[in-house]
Amino acid sequence: MKTPCFFLLLSVILFCGCGKDDEIHSKDYPYILLTDVRDIDSTGATLVAKVIDYGKDKITDYGFKWTGARSEYTHSIKEENSTDDFIFRITSDLKKGTTYTCRAYIQTTKYLILSNEISFESLGTREFEIIDFYPKEGPDCTTVTMRGRYFSYKPSNNQVYIGDIKTNVIYSCPDSIVFQIPQYIYIGDVSITVYLGTKKIIAPSKFNILGPKIDSISPHECYPEDTISIIGKNFIQGDNQFICFNYLGANLSATIIDFEANKINIKVPHDFYFHANSNIVTDVILYSGIKSTIYKNYIIKNPQYKNP
User: pLDDT value at position 2?
Assistant: 55
Domain match, 256 and 197 both: no
Q: What confidence score (pLDDT) does residue 13 get?
A: 40
Q: Can you give the CATH number for the domain in which 169 is found?
A: 2.60.40.10
Say whether both 103 and 149 belong to one domain. no
- Do residues 139 and 186 lie in contact, with contact meaning Cβ atoms separated by under 8 Å? no
- pLDDT tens digits, 128-163: 999 999 999 998 889 999 999 999 999 999 999 999
Give the number of domains in the chain: 3
Banded pLDDT at 268 (limits 50, 70, 90):
very high
Residue 25 has pLDDT above 70, yes or no: no
- Alpha-carbon gap, residue 269 to 254, rounded angstroms: 5
Residues 248 and 193 in one domain: no
Same domain, 188 and 238: no
Percent of the chain surpassing pLDDT 90: 69
The pLDDT value recorded for residue 181 is 93
Cα dist. 219→24, 191, 266, 267, 293 in Å?
A: 75, 40, 12, 12, 19
Q: Are residues 246 and 205 in the same domain?
A: no
Q: Which of 209, 242, 261 is the last residue of a domain?
A: 209
Q: Strand 87-90 and strand 44-53: pairing?
A: antiparallel
- Do 199 and 233 lie in a common domain? no
Contacting residues for 98 by C-beta, under 8 A, at least 6 apart: 68, 69, 121, 122
Q: Do 100 and 23 belong together in one domain? A: yes
The residue among 92, 121, 150 that closes a domain is 121
Domain hosting 253: range is 213-305
Same domain for 134 and 105, yes or no, is: no
What pLDDT does 265 receive? 94
Q: Are residue 222 and residue 245 in the same domain, yes or no?
A: yes
Q: How far is CA 239 from CA 164, 215, 257, in A?
A: 25, 21, 12
Q: What is the phi/psi pair of residue 180, to 5°?
A: -115, 140
